[in-house]
Structures are given as structure tokens and as C-alpha cells.
Amino acid sequence: MSGRWDSPRVRALCAGLLVAFSLGCAGGELPEGVVVRIGDQDFRYEDFRGYVEESLGADASRFGSVVLSRLFERFVDDQLLVRLARDRGLVERQATAEEAAVRLLQASPVVVSRSEIERYYEEHQSDFARPPRVRLRQILVQDRAAAELALGELEAGVDFGELARLRSIGPSAPVGGLQGELSREDLPPALADVVFELGEGEWSELLEADYGFRIFEVERVLPEETLTLAEAAPRVRALLEEARSEELVRAAAAEARQEYNLRVAVERLPFEYRGVFAESAAPE
């Protein structure tokens, strides 16, 4: 659940909401050094700097103005959500934004019905089309002599997967050189031309690489297909749950901004702020 809340799409949505709700900063001068006020709670630049260091493991001075501007907006979003969750009795005062997000989502569980999944699948069937693929194995060796030895053993009837376990130096050796199911788009064009000329159970000639020699085997040829509803359902459910979580973010962010009268003083930030608060800075 926390993963959905912290996804890039949700982060981008939160930033967009700052514009959508036209957050103002009027209503008097903020105390010296304060850059954000949420209700009766003030935050200084030092709070933001600590947030950056904790989140990214680096001092804010290492980042440029554009990155710092996005981080500042994320900082404000996080403080708003923590305050909202705390006032609802969902978290303690020192809770993190992730903890607040989890509790807010738990308080309004995301429910996706079977009919919604079916409707989405019918409307987006092209998204579940899979191109022709091959189930591919690889033997990787260091030099031509070792490659020719491996090729000779294959021709003598040694199983490709077993030979990969014994001879290959590639990271997939423990699983018999298995590379997975790959389409043409997953491979470099020159390699795709070689691989997709092979039939099931056939292996390639020696292919030179920067780091040695390779032999590929096509274990299985998989035709173009469209995932069935049953196969696609887990993916569809995850997509719809993420979309529903974004809707909850919209509602929570809108409520928090209205309830706490968010105010910012971007002119006090020690970097050139470039973002949604630029035209609504608190007056000195």
C-alpha cells in the first residue's frame, strides 16, 4: 500500500495539486526564518534541509535550484499529509509521511470490483497484447577455445541447460543460462536477427562479444498473443488501485490545504525557487 502512495505518479500528482488549489500566503507576516506555516505549525529552512538529507542521504547544497524546488514541494506535501493524519488520530506527532500515507489509505480502503476490472480489460485489450517471443538460454565463455569445446559438447548431445551450468561464466549459469522470454524489441537488432531465425531446440553458432563468446539456444518459440482476462486481472487490479489511491491523494491534499491555510515564504529560501509557490509568496 505504501508503495502505491509513494509512486512517481502520486508524487507528481501532489505537486500538480499545489497549482490546482491556488494556495495562498496572505494574512500577515511569518516569523523570521519561517518558510512554511501549516495551521499553527511553522517550518524553517533547517527543517527542509534535514528532510533532504534524510530522504536522499545528501546535503541540500549538492542539488541545483530545479531539484530543490521539487523537493521543497514534496516536503510541503509530506508535512500536510502528516498533519492531516495526526489530527485524525491516525498517527503520532513524529510520524513519517509514509506512515501517514499508509494510515490515511487504511482509513479509506481502496476497493476495486470485478466489474471494474472487466470493463478496463475490455477497453484496453491492446495493452495486453504480447509480441512473438522466444524462451532463450545462453552459454557465455571467456575464449574461443572454450566456446568451441562447448559447441562440440552440444553437438555430442549434452543438454544445453546442463552445459550452461557447467561451462558458462554468465550470471544466469546457475539456472541453466536462462534469459527469460524475450521479444525482438528486447534484443539488440543484430542479435535479434540471429535468434529469431532459430527454431525450437536449435542453437546459434559462436557469437563473439566484448567479454568472450556466446552460444544461444531457443528453447521455445512463443507466438503473438493477448493475455486473457484471468491472466491480466492482477495487473489491471494494481493499475486501478493506484488510480484510486491517486484520487484519495487529491481529496486529502485539497482538504489539508483548505483546513490549514498553507502559507509559504519562498523568498526566504537560499536557492532560486522555481515552482508553483513562486507567485504566492508570503509578504515580509
Does 38 share its domain with 7? Answer: yes
Does 17 share its domain with 42? Answer: yes
Of the three residues 223, 254, 279, the one that is the final residue of a domain is 223
How confident is residue 18, by pLDDT bands cut at 50, 70 and 90? very low
Residue at 216 is within a domain: yes
Tell me what pLDDT residue 2 has: 45
Does 110 share its domain with 236? Answer: yes
d(CA 248, CA 253): 8
Pick 4 or 134 by higher pLDDT.
Answer: 134
> What is the pTM assigned to this prediction?
0.58
For residue 91, pLDDT beyond 70: yes
Residue at 238 is within a domain: yes
Residue at 278 is within a domain: no
Question: Average of pLDDT values for 160-164?
Answer: 95
What SS3 class is residue 216?
Answer: strand
Does 14 share its domain with 110? Answer: yes
What does each C-alpha distance from 197 to 59, 136, 190, 205 come to in angstroms?
53, 13, 11, 12
Residue at 144 is within a domain: yes
Tell me what pLDDT residue 279 has: 62
Does 180 share its domain with 208? Answer: yes
Tell me what pLDDT residue 275 has: 87
> Nine-digit cell at 102?
499508509
- 112 close to 241: Cβ distance less than 8 angstroms: yes
Pick 95 or 28 by higher pLDDT.
Answer: 95
Radius of gyration (C-alpha) of the chain in whole angstroms: 28
Does 89 share its domain with 180? Answer: no
The residues near 93 (Cβ < 8 Å, ≥ 6 apart) are 86
For residue 22, pLDDT beyond 90: no
* Number of separate domains in the chain: 2
Does 77 share its domain with 94? Answer: yes
For residue 3, pLDDT beyond 50: no
Residue at 126 is within a domain: no
Pick 25 or 92 by higher pLDDT.
Answer: 92
> Nine-digit cell at 43?
517550518
Residue at 108 is within a domain: yes
What are the DSSP calls for 123-177, one per residue? Answer: HTGGGGEE--EEEEEEEEESSHHHHHHHHHHHHTT--HHHHHHHH--STTGGGTT
> Nine-digit cell at 84?
492531516
Average pLDDT, the chain: 87
Q: Which pLDDT tens digit goes with each residue over 169-218?
A: 999 999 999 999 999 999 999 999 999 999 999 999 999 988 899 999 99
Does 99 share its domain with 183? Answer: no
Does 150 share its domain with 22? Answer: no
How confident is residue 272, by pLDDT bands cut at 50, 70 and 90? very high
Residue at 279 is within a domain: no
For residue 221, pLDDT beyond 80: yes
Tell me what pLDDT residue 25 has: 41
d(CA 249, CA 17): 9
Beta strands 212-222 and 207-209 are antiparallel
Return the C-alpha torsion angle 163, 165, 171, 175, nearest 10: 110
Range of the domain at 258: 2-114+232-268
Does 90 share its domain with 157? Answer: no
Tell me what pLDDT residue 119 has: 96
Specify the CATH number for the domain of residue 204. Answer: 3.10.50.40
Tell me what pLDDT residue 37 has: 94
Tell me what pLDDT residue 152 has: 95
Of the three residues 223, 256, 279, the one that is the final residue of a domain is 223
Residue at 155 is within a domain: yes
Does 29 share its domain with 68? Answer: yes
